[in-house]
């Protein structure tokens, strides 16, 4: 049986090195050369031994071609040596499609909606039948689990060793550096044996069993040596400070866990499909690979030098190691041991970035990521997924769910800092852009309000465009002006603050009176309200009627506002006549309404009493059909002329607004 397996392995190696392909090609080329030489011998009268010489050359060259095909490979990068069977064992090679192809084959899900966070489904809830992991998924999940279980203690060995080397003096580094070297070699061996693309065309139970045997056989000696190095380091550093000894003990503990894994769990018979699905970690890995939906920090008073980071990992060693590495790089760190705790911290605190472990009991990393994307408060927080599982399906799944990056344990400190800094810089730049855009929108809205308060609505587009002067003349413009008199007396008696509050309430009340009427309002110096009919044909009477209706509303509101204020008088006047509206641009914009209509209306308002609306004869002629009036005598204008005045009383019954 072993002979047949050896022959099968040798044949597989011939195919991998393309030796059989080269042999076929060489045979075709040799046959063509023999045929050509035979034809040339007759046509060119060559010696009779020519074709025999060509056959001899072909026979001699065949073994040389086979040796070269075995030893070298022709690639886009040029000629290179083909890896040996020890470097690339048959059991670990597969015709795995590239990452991009796998990503294209994965089912695409719509991006999560931005809505309030909802509770994730219970971990025990069964997935839909059409998304159940396949046997191939479960085998690949076991492969990922083996890699995860072996890398986790190696991550602790390498990480704590690097931290110790930063603190120890050069003369005492030797025992720790020996541990670091041994840990790195073990990690390389794990990566070589359990590569993500390991396996044949189909990852079978026999292939998995072969990998487990290799782990047991090839890591037995290295893990035993790692334990001896830990004991030697403990003896050599026994007089060091407590923190150093604690880190050495952590390294020894991690090395012990690695040794236990190699000797016990990985030392077993071939694992079938049912057994490969056993265990929480393997179930989690299977879910990620199948693409199923899943529902000690630094000093307290130290300011965050580079950002506030949340580390989420169910392994206490990983949390401690990563938090210390981040603290040394200047980050402020918070820790969470599970997904629910992480979500609670995210609701209470602001974080610049989250380092989120993929495989966790309960609510796993993808479940946390999904809930963060659904919550408006956390959807903008960048998330970097961390795991010892580096299957491309898991990476793609995390990126699809909204993660910005994916880091594989153990972390290289320099690479970790570079990836974190790049992510934080990018998201801080985006935050600055969002703030700048928000400020621009707020300033634009404020400028729009300011423009509308300075000029009528029909002039605001020209004001925004900066098109210069604009003059409009009206032969018959209806104008109502409200003049507030006695403000200085009120301020002297009650104070400036009381006056400002009264003015604010009055202005808001007056503007509310005009909300449903076709009129335009403008305040002049805060003491006079000017309202005009909207631009229309002079014969269009409803414009003047709207001014009359507004005057009645202003009269009622003015009486109410001045009821408890003796010093202030609210005068209202209406006139219909010619006027000129102009927008002038120099260093600033200036808008004004001039002419007979505003001047007469202002004079009528100045001579009126609170509760009275003075109307000119021209305004009476335009409004008497819709309103009731009474005669108020004759007043003398500032120009020395006399003018009869009417008092606006109310709408006529037939025209009364309900």
In this predicted model, what pLDDT tens digit does every residue of 134-191 receive, in sequence order?
A: 666 677 777 777 777 888 888 888 888 888 888 888 888 898 989 988 888 888 888 7
Q: Alpha carbon 616 to chain centroid distance?
A: 65
pLDDT the model gives residue 56: 84
- Shortest CA distance to 619 belongs to which of 558, 570, 548, 550? 548
Both structure tokens of 195: 């590569």
Q: What is the mean pLDDT of the chain?
A: 76
Asked whether 189 and 183 are in contact (CB, 8 A), the reply is: no
pLDDT the model gives residue 130: 45
Of the CA atoms within 13 Å of residue 389, those in its CB half-sphere come to 30
Q: Percentage of residues in the chain with pLDDT exceeding 70?
A: 73
φ and ψ at residue 46, rounded to 5 degrees: -80, 165
pLDDT the model gives residue 205: 74
Asked whether 251 and 161 are in contact (CB, 8 A), the reply is: yes
Asked whether 211 and 194 are in contact (CB, 8 A), the reply is: yes
Predicted model pTM: 0.40
Which of 58-72, 96-110, 363-377, 383-397 has the least mean pLDDT?
A: 96-110
Q: What does 155-205 look like in DSSP terms, one character per residue?
A: HHHHHHHHHHHHHS-GGG-HHHHHHHHHHHHHHHHHHHHT-TT-S-SS--H
- Strand ranges (DSSP E) for 451-568? 470-485, 519-524, 528-533
Q: How many CB atoms lie within 10 A of CB 330?
A: 15
Residue 589 pLDDT > 60 = yes
Asked whether 554 and 611 are in contact (CB, 8 A), the reply is: no
Residue 273 pLDDT > 80 = no
pLDDT the model gives residue 96: 33
Mean pLDDT of 23-39: 83
Q: Percentage of residues in the chain with pLDDT exceeding 90?
A: 10
Residue 312 pLDDT > 90 = yes
Confidence of residue 101 (pLDDT cuts 50, 70, 90): very low
What DSSP designation does 297 have? -
Confidence of residue 629 (pLDDT cuts 50, 70, 90): very high
- Shortest CA distance to 546 belongs to which of 518, 571, 511? 518
Asked whether 299 and 416 are in contact (CB, 8 A), the reply is: no
Q: Alpha carbon 99 to chain centroid distance?
A: 24
Q: How many CB atoms lie within 10 A of CB 10?
A: 11
Q: Can you tell me the distance from the alpha carbon of 249 to that of 633, in angstroms, rounded to the nearest whole number?
A: 107
Contacts of residue 511, Cβ cutoff 8 Å, sequence gap at least 6: 521
Both structure tokens of 214: 């290799």
pLDDT the model gives residue 295: 40
Instruction: Answer whether the bond into residue 410 is a cis peptide, omega within 30°.
Output: yes
Asked whether 312 and 387 are in contact (CB, 8 A), the reply is: no
Q: Can you tell me the distance from the alpha carbon of 254 to that of 252, in angstroms, rounded to the nearest whole number?
A: 5
Torsion of CA 416, 417, 421, 422, to 10 degrees: -50
Residue 414 pLDDT > 60 = yes
Confidence of residue 342 (pLDDT cuts 50, 70, 90): very high
Q: Can you tell me the distance from the alpha carbon of 256 to that of 247, in angstroms, rounded to the nearest whole number?
A: 14
| Helix/strand/coil for 30 | helix
Confidence of residue 616 (pLDDT cuts 50, 70, 90): very high
| Helix/strand/coil for 486 | coil
Q: How many CB atoms lie within 10 A of CB 282?
A: 21
Q: How many CB atoms lie within 10 A of CB 434?
A: 11
Q: Can you tell me the distance from the alpha carbon of 226 to that of 252, in angstroms, rounded to the nearest whole number?
A: 9
Asked whether 357 and 446 are in contact (CB, 8 A), the reply is: no
Residue 311 pLDDT > 90 = yes
Burial 242-272 (b: 16+ CB within 10 A, else e): eebeebbebbbbbbebbbebbeeebeeeebe
CA distances from 145 to 138, 181, 257 (A): 10, 24, 15
Burial 461-494 (b: 16+ CB within 10 A, else e): ebbeeeeeebeeebebbbbbbbbbbebeebbeee
């Amino acid at each position: 049986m072993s002979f047949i397996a050896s022959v099968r392995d040798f044949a597989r190696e011939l195919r991998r090195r393309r030796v059989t392909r080269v042999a076929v090609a060489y045979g075709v080329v040799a046959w063509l050369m023999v045929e050509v030489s035979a034809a040339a011998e007759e046509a060119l009268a060559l010696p009779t031994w020519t074709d025999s010489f060509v056959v001899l050359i072909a026979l001699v060259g065949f073994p040389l071609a086979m040796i070269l095909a075995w030893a070298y490979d022709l690639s886009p990068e040029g000629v290179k040596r083909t890896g040996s069977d020890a470097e690339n064992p048959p059991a670990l090679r597969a015709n795995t499609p590239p990452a991009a192809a796998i990503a294209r084959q994965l089912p695409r899900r719509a991006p999560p909606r931005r809505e309030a966070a909802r509770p994730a489904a219970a971990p025990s809830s069964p997935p839909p039948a059409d998304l159940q992991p396949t046997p191939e998924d479960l085998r690949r999940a076991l492969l990922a689990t083996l890699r995860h279980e072996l890398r986790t203690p190696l991550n602790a060995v390498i990480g704590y060793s690097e931290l110790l080397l930063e603190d120890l003096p050069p003369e005492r580094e030797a025992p720790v550096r020996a541990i670091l070297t041994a840990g790195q070699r073990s990690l390389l061996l794990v990566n070589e044996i359990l590569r993500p693309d390991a396996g044949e065309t189909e990852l079978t139970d026999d292939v998995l069993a072969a990998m487990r045997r290799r782990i047991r056989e090839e890591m037995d000696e290295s893990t035993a040596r790692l334990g001896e190095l830990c004991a030697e380091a403990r003896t050599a550093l026994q007089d060091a400070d407590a923190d150093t000894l604690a880190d050495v003990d952590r390294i020894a503990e991690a090395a012990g866990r690695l040794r236990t894994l190699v000797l016990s769990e990985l030392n077993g018979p071939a694992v079938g499909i049912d057994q490969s699905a056993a265990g929480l970690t393997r179930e989690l890995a299977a879910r990620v690979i199948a693409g199923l939906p899943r529902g000690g920090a630094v000093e307290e008073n130290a300011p965050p030098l580079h950002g506030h980071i949340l580390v989420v990992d169910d392994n206490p060693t990983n949390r401690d190691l990563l938090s210390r590495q981040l603290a040394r790089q200047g980050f402020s760190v918070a820790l969470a041991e599970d997904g629910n705790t992480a979500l609670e911290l995210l609701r209470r605190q602001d974080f610049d970035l989250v380092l989120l472990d993929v495989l966790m009991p309960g609510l796993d990393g993808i479940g946390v990521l999904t809930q963060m994307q659904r919550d408006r408060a956390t959807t903008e927080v960048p998330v970097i997924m961390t795991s010892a599982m580096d299957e491309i399906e898991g990476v793609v799944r995390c990126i699809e769910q909204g993660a910005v990056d994916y880091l594989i344990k153990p972390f290289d400190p320099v690479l970790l800092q570079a990836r974190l800094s790049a992510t934080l810089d990018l998201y801080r730049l985006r935050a600055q852009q969002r703030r700048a855009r928000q400020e621009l929108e707020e300033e634009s809205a404020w400028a729009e309000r300011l423009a509308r308060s300075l000029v009528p609505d029909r002039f605001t587009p020209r004001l925004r465009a900066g098109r210069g002067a604009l003059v409009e003349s009206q032969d018959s413009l209806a104008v109502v002006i409200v003049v507030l008199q006695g403000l200085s007396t009120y301020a002297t008696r009650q104070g400036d603050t009381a006056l400002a509050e009264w003015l604010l309430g009055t202005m808001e009340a007056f503007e509310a009176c005009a909300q449903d009427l076709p009129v335009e309002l403008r305040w002049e110096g805060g003491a006079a309200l000017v309202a005009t009919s909207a631009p229309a044909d002079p014969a269009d009477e409803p414009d003047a009627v709207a001014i009359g209706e507004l005057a009645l509303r202003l009269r009622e509101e003015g009486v109410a506002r001045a009821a408890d204020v003796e010093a202030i008088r609210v005068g209202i006047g209406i006139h219909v006549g010619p006027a000129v509206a102009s927008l002038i641009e120099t260093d600033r914009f200036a808008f004004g309404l001039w002419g007979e209509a505003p001047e007469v209306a202002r004079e009528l308002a100045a001579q009126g009493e609170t509760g009275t609306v003075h109307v000119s004869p021209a305004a009476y002629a335009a409004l008497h059909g819709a309103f009731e009036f009474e005669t108020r005598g004759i007043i003398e204008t500032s120009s020395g002329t006399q003018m009869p005045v009417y008092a606006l009383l109310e709408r006529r019954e037939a025209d009364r607004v309900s």
